[in-house]
Chain A
Amino acid sequence: MTFYKEMLKGIWKENPIFRLVLGMCPTLAVTTSVENSLGMGLAATFVLVCSNIVISSLRNLIPAKVRIPCFIVVIATFVTIVDLLMNAFAHELHKSLGLFIPLIVVNCIILGRAEAYASKHPVVRSIADGIGMGIGFTLGLMVLGTCREILGAGTITVWGNLKWTIAGLEPMVLMILAPGGFIALGVLLGLMNHIQAVSAHRRGQTFTPPAHLDCRHCVMCGKWGE
Chain B
Amino acid sequence: MKDTLRLIVVLTLICLLAGLMLAWVNKFTAEPIKQAELAEKMNALREVLPEYDNAPNSDTCVIESDGKEWIFYVARKGGSFVGAAFETVSSEGYGGDITIMVGVTADESLCAIDVLKAKETPGLGAKIDAPEFKEQFSGKGIEATTWAVTKDQGDIHAVTAATISSRAVVTAVSQGLDVLKKNLDTISKAGS
A associates with B: yes
Residues of B within 8 A of A63 (CB): 3, 6-7, 10
DSSP class of B's interface residues: helix, strand, loop or mixed?
A: helix
Q: Are A65 and B15 in touch, CB under 8 angstroms?
A: no
Residue B135 at the A interface, CB < 8 A? no
Interface residue stretch chosen among B61-69, B77-85, B116-124, B178-186: B116-124
Question: Quick check: A32 and B122 within 8 Å, CB to CB?
Answer: yes
Question: Within the assembled complex, what's the spacing in Å between the Cα atoms of A177 and B126?
Answer: 12
Residues of A near B124 (CB, < 8 A) are 173
Q: Does B32 contact A (CB under 8 A)?
A: yes
Contact between B123 and A81, CB atoms less than 8 A apart = no
Residues of B within 8 A of A32 (CB): 122
Distance between A144 CB and nearest chain B CB, rounded to angstroms? 15
Cβ of A23 under 8 Å from chain B = no
State whether the Cβ of B22 lies closer than 8 Å to any Cβ in chain A: yes
Q: How many residues of B contact A (CB 8 A)?
A: 23
For the complex, give the distance between the alpha carbons of A78 and B111 in Å.
44
- The listed residue (B7, B14, B37, B39) touching A74 by CB distance below 8 A is B14
What is the chain B residue whose CB lies nearest that of A75? B18
A182 to B: closest C-beta gap in Å: 16
Q: Are B40 and A176 in contact (CB under 8 A)?
A: no
A89-B18 in contact (CB<8A):
no
* A70 with B29: CB separation less than 8 A: no
Contact, CB under 8 Å: B36 / A87: yes
Q: Within 8 Å of chain A (Cβ to Cβ): is B11?
A: yes
B166 → A minimal CB distance (Å) = 16
Q: Are A88 and B10 interface neighbours, CB within 8 A?
A: no
A91 contacts B by Cβ under 8 Å? yes
New A-B contacts (9) at CB < 8 Å, excluding given A65-B7, A81-B25, A91-B40: A63-B3, A66-B10, A70-B10, A77-B22, A81-B21, A85-B29, A87-B36, A88-B36, A173-B124
User: Which residues of A are interface residues toward B (Cβ below 8 A)?
Assistant: 32, 58, 61-63, 65-66, 69-70, 73-74, 76-77, 80-81, 84-85, 87-89, 91, 152-153, 171, 173, 176-177
Supply 17 A–B pairs (Cβ within 8 Å), ascending by A.
A62-B10, A66-B11, A74-B14, A76-B18, A77-B22, A80-B22, A80-B25, A84-B33, A88-B29, A88-B32, A91-B36, A91-B39, A91-B40, A152-B122, A173-B124, A176-B122, A177-B123
